[in-house]
């Protein structure tokens, strides 16, 4: 359980425009994107998700990197309520990485927020992780090149993704074993359970639908189907689109410079050939 020193939060920073009401702290690949849509349908606007973080402004991405480096490597001061309000001030709820990597900090900063822990069996979670997140950890050359050519934005996004993976599985190595990954997944769930009083925590699987979620949050049950997005096929499609966009960004950014260089070389070759003919 969070310490008593955090039971009364400090005044909100200037950046907070809506109360933080829900912390969804289940591991990635436990239905976090579907839950994001469900929470927004229930009125928790905005619900921040990892995909939104990667699409954020360079300033927000830099803040996330600073928070992660402080958490993982002790570089700089840990974030407190003021920093979280600055970073998440327009969010009524959060889910997925990088938020879940700060479960203890966010629970302490927002003791009034309810906590959700989405789960699935370790075996099904590992199958989903292995088919989706794992392949993205070795991006194609052009994607890596885009980070090198655009270090202040694309490069920072790639750094953020690497830090999220390190925080998620506790290692910088891509070659984590199934047993080690599943142990990390279970340890995270246990940590959330320890941090939150039972009356403030709902543990559920998204396949259970609206009923447990609405009952816990005090909302009227919805007649519409519970959102189901970002399954393995959709994740792969989204990553393919993202990688294609990165490759296009490289070409659009650097094609003028490359084409100018090629034109210079071609002109030099033509002049040299012409001089050779004149000299002959």
Residue 243 lies in a domain: no
Residue 258 lies in a domain: no
**DSSP conformational letter for 5:** G
How far is residue 121's CA from residue 187's CA, in Å, rounded to a whole number? 13
Q: What is the pLDDT of residue 8?
A: 44
Residue 184 lies in a domain: yes
- Cα–Cα separations (whole angstroms), residue 162 to 54, 134, 176: 12, 11, 14
pLDDT in tens, 79-132: 999 999 999 999 999 999 999 999 999 999 999 999 999 999 999 999 998 888
Residue 8 lies in a domain: yes
| Structure token pair of residue 256 | 């003028």
| Percent over 70 (pLDDT), the chain | 75
Residue 264 lies in a domain: no
pLDDT in tens, 30-41: 999 999 999 999
Q: Report the CATH number at residue 29.
A: 3.40.50.300
| Structure token pair of residue 160 | 């953020």
Q: Which strands, in side-by-side order, build the sheet including 201-204?
A: 47-48, 93-94, 22-24, 114-118, 201-204
Residue 278 lies in a domain: no
Number of domains making up the chain: 1
How far is residue 197's CA from residue 254's CA, in Å, rounded to a whole number? 54
pLDDT in tens, 131-190: 887 777 766 676 677 777 888 888 898 899 999 999 999 988 788 999 999 999 999 999
The domain containing residue 175 runs over which residues? 4-229
Residue 275 lies in a domain: no
Residue 256 lies in a domain: no
How far is residue 43's CA from residue 34's CA, in Å, rounded to a whole number? 15
| Structure token pair of residue 218 | 């005090």
Q: What is the mean pLDDT of the chain?
A: 83
| Structure token pair of residue 263 | 């034109």
Tell me the mean pLDDT in the region 207-226.
96
């Amino acid at each position: 359980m969070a310490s008593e020193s955090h039971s009364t939060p400090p005044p909100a920073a200037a950046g907070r425009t809506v109360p933080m009401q829900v912390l969804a702290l289940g591991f990635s690949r436990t239905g976090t994107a579907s839950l994001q849509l469900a929470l927004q349908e229930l009125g928790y606007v905005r619900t921040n998700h990892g995909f939104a973080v990667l699409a954020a402004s360079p300033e927000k991405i830099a803040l996330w990197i600073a928070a992660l480096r402080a958490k993982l490597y002790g570089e700089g001061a840990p974030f407190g309520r003021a920093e979280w309000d600055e970073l998440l001030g327009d969010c009524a709820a959060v889910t997925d990485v990088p938020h879940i990597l700060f479960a203890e900090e966010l629970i302490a900063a927002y003791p009034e927020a309810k906590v959700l822990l989405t789960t699935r069996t370790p075996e099904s979670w590992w199958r989903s992780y292995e088919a989706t997140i794992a392949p993205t950890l070795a991006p194609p050359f052009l994607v890596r090149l885009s980070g090198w050519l655009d270090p202040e934005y694309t490069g920072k996004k790639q750094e953020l993704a690497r830090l999220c993976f390190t925080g998620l599985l506790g290692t910088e190595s891509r070659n984590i074993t199934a047993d080690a990954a599943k142990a990390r997944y279970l340890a995270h769930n246990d940590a959330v359970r320890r941090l939150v009083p039972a009356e403030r925590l709902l543990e559920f699987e998204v396949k259970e639908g609206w009923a447990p979620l609405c009952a816990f949050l005090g909302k009227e049950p919805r007649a519409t189907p519970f959102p189901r997005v970002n399954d393995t096929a959709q994740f792969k499609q989204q990553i393919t689109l993202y990688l294609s966009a990165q490759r296009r960004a490289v070409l659009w950014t650097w094609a003028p410079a490359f084409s100018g260089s090629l034109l210079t070389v071609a002109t030099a070759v033509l002049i040299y050939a012409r001089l050779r003919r004149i000299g002959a």
